[in-house]
Amino acid sequence: MARYFYDCEFIEDGTTIELVSVGVVDERGGEFYAISRQFDPMRAGPWVRRNVLDKLPPTSDPAWMSRLAIREAFYEFVTAGEGPVELWAWYAAYDHVAIAQLWGAMPDLPRALPRFTRDLRQRWDDVGRPDLPPAPADAHDALADARHNLARWEVIDAAWQRQVAPR
């Protein structure tokens, strides 16, 4: 199993979800970060402007890519591990849609990618809500949030293992 913990920042209006950035980390220490050159910042609400857009690096940063380049680099990163891909995110539904839409309609998603992202928030509830690490100072940066998701996983999984371990 190859587990990947990710976060997407996006603009949404109740009808569309427009990817701004994605950060992904794996359990071996690998990281991937990309910012879309194709989102429309004028569609962003005040919260996204203040908490996401104002924190992005300059457009000269190599993390800025086309959606096609993000799609290819994301796929390469998450399929480089051994075994089937397992995606994890905190409140995962919107993140999954933002990623899946890089390929267009759901049927176009490559077979190597799961059709859903596992939800850390739900797993946290399932194991009794153990104390989690505090949010990072740079929260709402997709890569910082992906790293935080891995830290959350470590606490949640330890609690899960204690519950399912034979006594």
What's the total number of domains in the chain? 1
pLDDT value of position 167: 60
Q: How confident is the model at residue 164 (pLDDT cuts 50, 70, 90)?
A: confident
- The enclosing domain of 72 has a CATH number of 3.30.420.10
pLDDT value of position 62: 97
- Strand locations in 27-167, DSSP E? 31-36, 64-65, 85-89, 118-119
In this prediction the pTM is 0.95
Annotated binding site for Mg(2+): 7
Annotated binding site: 7
8 Å CB contact between 6 and 89: yes
Which residues form the domain of 27?
A: 2-164
Tens-place pLDDT, residues 109-159: 999 999 999 999 999 999 999 999 999 999 999 999 999 999 999 999 999
Tens-place pLDDT, residues 16-57: 899 999 999 999 999 999 999 999 999 999 999 999 999 999
CA-to-CA distance for 4 and 9, rounded, in angstroms? 16
Neighbours of 139 (CB within 10 A): 13
